């Protein structure tokens, strides 16, 4: 089995360009593949390789400024789920387009996966899925609002447009995403918009699917992941989706794409 690590850390990198080449060299030396993004606000990515090699690279990352408590979600793959290695410097490690948002200064309250069901089942809680429309299409939590946004950059405008109707009769907001990183920004954004009672799922959907038994779960469907596995289910078992060849959208195995009518890529 190949070990897979989804990771992120919001921290201050004064010169992310200076971190790029040493990190790239560490990954290449260990035979790691996947994608790592560096920005002034921190690091984000998913990488895969043999367990010992992955541990060595994670050690390198944890030695970076502010990364000692790096947030990592582990899973397995029957074969390497990435075709190559990319280490890039970007403006943001997850693009929201709100330059004044800083999750290290103001973000929502973490909720443990085992406490999540009670929170989102409360009728006074507004539950929002912060992921992109194609991700939500294959799985989400029961009762969650789908913003139907094609990009995370669209989330602020969506919320500002629908704020009044969304918050009507609600006392608090709970949000979730794949691994937690988008919720760091979305909860920080809502707090900047004046909403105090904001919560997010610690470790994201991946940690919930890992820790919460299927028979107790409020999750419906599968969770899209940004690698060749395409989707994961409870226990982080590989799901039953593949990708459309032309547009890359996730599809149930054997189905054609409803958007571009393309065929599914072979599994």
Widest CA span in the chain: 55
At residue 180, the 3 state secondary structure works out as: coil
CA distance 6 to 79: 16
- Per DSSP, helices labelled H in the chain are 16-30, 51-62, 113-121, 133-136, 155-167, 181-192, 204-211
Which of 27, 67, 177, 244 is catalytic? The answer is 177
Provide the sign of the torsion angle of the four alpha carbons 150, 148, 180, 110, taken in this order: positive
Tell which residue, 77, 22, 20, has the closest CA to residue 48: 77
CA distance 197 to 37: 30
Q: Chain centroid to CA 229: how far?
A: 15
Q: Which residues of 18-39 are buried (b: 16+ CB within 10 A; e: fewer)?
A: ebeeebbebbeebebbbbbbbb
> Which residue in the block uniquely carries the two structure tokens 């403006």?
91
> Any catalytic annotation for residue 177?
yes
At residue 220, the 3 state secondary structure works out as: strand
| Beta pairing partners, 200 | 110, 175
| Catalytic positions, written as ranges | 177
């Amino acid at each position: 089995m190949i070990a897979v690590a989804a990771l992120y850390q919001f921290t201050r990198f004064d010169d992310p360009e200076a971190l790029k080449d040493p990190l790239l060299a560490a990954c290449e030396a260990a035979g790691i593949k996947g994608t790592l993004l560096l920005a002034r606000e921190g690091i984000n990515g998913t990488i895969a390789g043999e367990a010992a090699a992955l541990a060595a690279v994670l050690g390198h990352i944890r030695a970076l400024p502010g990364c000692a408590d790096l947030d990592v979600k582990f899973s397995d793959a029957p074969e390497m789920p990435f075709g190559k290695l990319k280490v890039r410097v970007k403006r943001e490690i997850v693009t929201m387009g709100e330059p004044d948002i800083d999750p290290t200064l103001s973000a929502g309250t973490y909720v443990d996966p085992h406490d999540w069901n009670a929170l989102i089942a409360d009728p006074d809680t507004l539950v929002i899925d912060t992921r992109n429309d194609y991700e939500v299409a294959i799985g989400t939590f029961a009762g969650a609002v789908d913003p139907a946004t094609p990009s995370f950059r669209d989330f602020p405008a969506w919320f500002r447009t629908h704020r009044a109707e969304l918050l009507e009769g609600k006392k608090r907001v709970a949000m979730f995403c794949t691994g937690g990183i988008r919720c760091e920004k979305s909860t920080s954004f809502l707090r900047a918009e004046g909403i105090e009672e904001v919560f997010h799922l610690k470790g994201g959907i991946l940690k919930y699917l890992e820790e919460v038994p299927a028979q107790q779960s409020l999750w419906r469907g599968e969770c899209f992941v940004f690698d060749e596995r395409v989707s994961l289910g409870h226990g982080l078992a590989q799901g039953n989706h593949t990708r459309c060849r032309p547009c890359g959208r996730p599809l149930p195995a054997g189905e054609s794409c409803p958007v571009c009518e393309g065929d599914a890529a072979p599994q």
